[in-house]
Chain A
Amino acid sequence: MVHQEAFEWYIAVYLFLAGVGAGSMVVAAVADMYDREKYLSFIKAASLIGMPLVSIGIFFLYIDLGQGMWKPWLLIFLFANPASAITWGTAILTIFTILSFIYGAYNLGYLKIGCSRCLNWLLIITGICTAGYTAVLLGSLKAIPFWHQTALPILFIISATSTGISGAMIVKLIFLKSDANIKPIETAHLYLIVLEIIMLIGMMLIALQGVPEMKYAAESLLFGDYAFLFWFLLVFTGLLVPAIAFGMEEAHKLHMKTKTVVTLEIMVLLGGYLMRYLIIHAGVYTKKFAEYIVR
């Protein structure tokens, strides 16, 4: 079996940052529609990171390019092929970046807009598309069976939303120094992390029963070269510990200081990055000489 080597950690950073930016904006837009006053601190925090993180993500994509980096005029060709996920992904990202810039400026009081409801909806739609697109980019490749599954976009959207909340929470607690009560978002965050754990377990169990390439990819994560990163940093640090801590707080068994919450949010972010990193590196090519697989 052959692991793909074309996509490396740059792409993982891009997928991750685009996810955090999009996730934070989507949650902010949803919260805005429920109760702008109540969630204002969160909305402002998300506004501070949404557009910048997506832009930094795009920057990583850009420096991963070959010739296109030093001949930027070639980038116009990125829109040449509507059949390519990159072509419409670039379009979605461009639209989303502009919208989140406008929304950010509005929330921070630099801009007045007429129909903020419309903007909320547009952000929710383009934000989900952005987060989902990062997975469709990988998932549309039939050559890599481990990526070519419908669960991937769902997993990425859940993780984007969860890490988006974490990113905005950190800004809210540290930079805006706000302790406004935004309980429903915290509760939603807990459920998202639990959902992500369930999705991950499901994906692994299914992959282990899948075609040999898929099984090999899952095994490289579960027991192979990536096992330490997978179990310790992604599952334990990035998902289980935050889930247990947030769960206990939810059940009023634990009261966490700001520092502890920030640490947990950073752990969620770390897990979100590792999830992208590991899925990219576990990409195993489909066998070209299938007739020669000895059973």
Chain B
Amino acid sequence: MNKKYAMAYIIDRCIDCKACMVSCKAEWNVPEDFFRTHIDQGLKKELHGKFRMDFLPSQCNHCDKAPCVTVCPTKASHNREDGIVYVDRSRCVGCKYCIPSCPYDARFYNHDLGVAEKCTFCLPRIADGLEPACATTCPGNVRVFGDINDPASEISMVLGAAKENKQKVWKLREDLGTLPNIYYIQK
């Protein structure tokens, strides 16, 4: 079976240290002012008028039905067989149309190269058998990366365990029909 790469965030562990953002930036020379992954703060109303704050990582969801791929006129943005949504830099004309098309605001415009940029799931690293930089760096082990078609992979185990323990597992804005591939896990 084909590989299908995905990532899970165990969000209870995130302490908002932003090490992932920095390591990604350093690894891939991400231009000033931009990041390929972000940490948002989410406020949620709980029972009895109490509030709870969660730290919510995000990056490109490598959507199976990715709007950025649909709208890209040049097919520079495409779905790879292994599930990664990739921007072919030699083909992108820098029309920027994909940037506002992404409901997750995962893309930005690289002024130096004149192309659209986003998270690649660290494609060159995983091709060498390494983990994505953000997952390696995360001190809380929030980020679990792997092939969800392989039942023995860490991510499959983590997702399986979460299901067994009846933890909350969800993906972002599934109502939009984008079929994202980043899983959020919470107790």
B-binding residues in A (CB < 8 A): 2, 4, 6-7, 64-71, 74-75, 77-81, 83-87, 90, 137, 140-144, 283, 285-292, 294-295
Answer yes or no: B97 CB below 8 A from chain A CBs: yes
Given A78-B73, A80-B75, A87-B73 in contact, is the A2-B93 Cβ separation under 8 Å? no
The answer to whether B54 and A292 touch across the interface, beta carbons within 8 angstroms, is yes
The answer to whether A64 and B176 touch across the interface, beta carbons within 8 angstroms, is no
The answer to whether A143 and B102 touch across the interface, beta carbons within 8 angstroms, is yes
Count how many chain B residues have C-beta atoms less than 8 Å from C-beta atoms of the other chain. 46
The answer to whether A77 and B109 touch across the interface, beta carbons within 8 angstroms, is no
The answer to whether B67 and A86 touch across the interface, beta carbons within 8 angstroms, is no
The answer to whether A66 and B73 touch across the interface, beta carbons within 8 angstroms, is no
Task: Encode contact with A along B74-102: 1 for CB under 8 Å, 0 otherwise.
Answer: 11100000000000010111111101111
- Output the nearest chain B residue to A89 by Cβ-Cβ distance: B73
A141 to B43 alpha-carbon distance, docked (Å)? 27
The answer to whether B176 and A65 touch across the interface, beta carbons within 8 angstroms, is no
The answer to whether A2 and B96 touch across the interface, beta carbons within 8 angstroms, is no
The answer to whether A141 and B101 touch across the interface, beta carbons within 8 angstroms, is yes
The answer to whether A65 and B43 touch across the interface, beta carbons within 8 angstroms, is no
A60 to B56 alpha-carbon distance, docked (Å)? 38
CB distance from B24 to the nearest CB of A (A): 18
Answer yes or no: B161 CB below 8 A from chain A CBs: no
A295 cross-chain contacts in B, Cβ below 8 A: 45
A288 cross-chain contacts in B, Cβ below 8 A: 58, 103-105, 172-173
Given A7-B96, A64-B96, A86-B97 in contact, is the A292-B42 Cβ separation under 8 Å? yes
A70 to B94 alpha-carbon distance, docked (Å)? 11
Q: Which of B44, B75, B94 has the most CB of A within 10 A?
A: B94
CB distance from B52 to the nearest CB of A (A): 10
A71 cross-chain contacts in B, Cβ below 8 A: 93
Candidates A7, A80, A287; contact of B100 at CB < 8 Å: A7
Given A67-B94, A288-B172 in contact, is the A79-B56 Cβ separation under 8 Å? no
Answer yes or no: B113 CB below 8 A from chain A CBs: yes
CB distance from A6 to the nearest CB of B (A): 4
A87 to B72 alpha-carbon distance, docked (Å)? 8
- Output the nearest chain B residue to A71 by Cβ-Cβ distance: B93
The answer to whether A75 and B93 touch across the interface, beta carbons within 8 angstroms, is yes
The answer to whether A77 and B74 touch across the interface, beta carbons within 8 angstroms, is yes
Task: Encode contact with A along B159-187: 1 for CB under 8 Å, 0 otherwise.
Answer: 00000000000101101100000000000
- Output the nearest chain A residue to B102 by Cβ-Cβ distance: A143
A75 cross-chain contacts in B, Cβ below 8 A: 93
CB distance from A19 to the nearest CB of B (A): 18
The answer to whether A142 and B115 touch across the interface, beta carbons within 8 angstroms, is no
- Output the nearest chain A residue to B76 by Cβ-Cβ distance: A77
